[in-house]
């Protein structure tokens, strides 16, 4: 029962704090960044960073 409670608590925390996932690492260790325009998550290596903002594509960076 303790494990169940912990799982529920983790889910609750995730639900209460959705923004925390925006800049968190994925399971495979690749850093994901959210596009400032459409909020799509792209790997850091594929993201376009302009003026301190992150974009998923060239189109959105313009
Ligand atoms: Zn975008």
Tens-digit pLDDT profile for residues 7-60: 887 877 777 776 655 555 555 678 999 999 999 999 999 999 999 999 999 999
pLDDT in tens, 13-26: 777 776 655 555 55
Ligand 1 centroid–CA 10 distance in Å is: 29
How far apart CA 27 and CA 43 sit, in angstroms, is 12
Model-level pTM greater than 0.95? no
The dotted CATH code for 19-61 is 3.30.60
Query: To which residue do tokens 């400032």 refer?
Result: 36
Task: Tell me the domain boundaries of the chain.
Answer: 19-61
Tokens matching residue 53: 């903002």
**60 CA distance to ligand 1 centroid (A)?**
5
**Phi, then psi, of 49 in degrees rounded to 5:** -110, 120
Q: How far is the CA of 41 from the centre of ligand 1 (A)?
A: 8
Which of the 8 DSSP states describes residue 57?
A: S
Q: Which residues surround ligand 1, an ion (CB under 5 A)?
A: 35, 37-38, 40, 56, 60
Query: What tokens does 33 get?
Result: 């960044």
Residue bearing tokens 């409670």: 5
């Amino acid at each position: 029962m303790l494990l169940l409670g912990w799982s529920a608590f983790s889910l609750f925390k995730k639900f209460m704090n959705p923004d925390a996932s925006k800049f968190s690492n994925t399971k495979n260790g690749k850093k994901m960044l959210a596009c400032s325009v459409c909020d799509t998550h792209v790997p850091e290596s594929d993201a376009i960073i302009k003026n301190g903002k992150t974009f998923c594509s060239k189109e959105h960076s313009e």
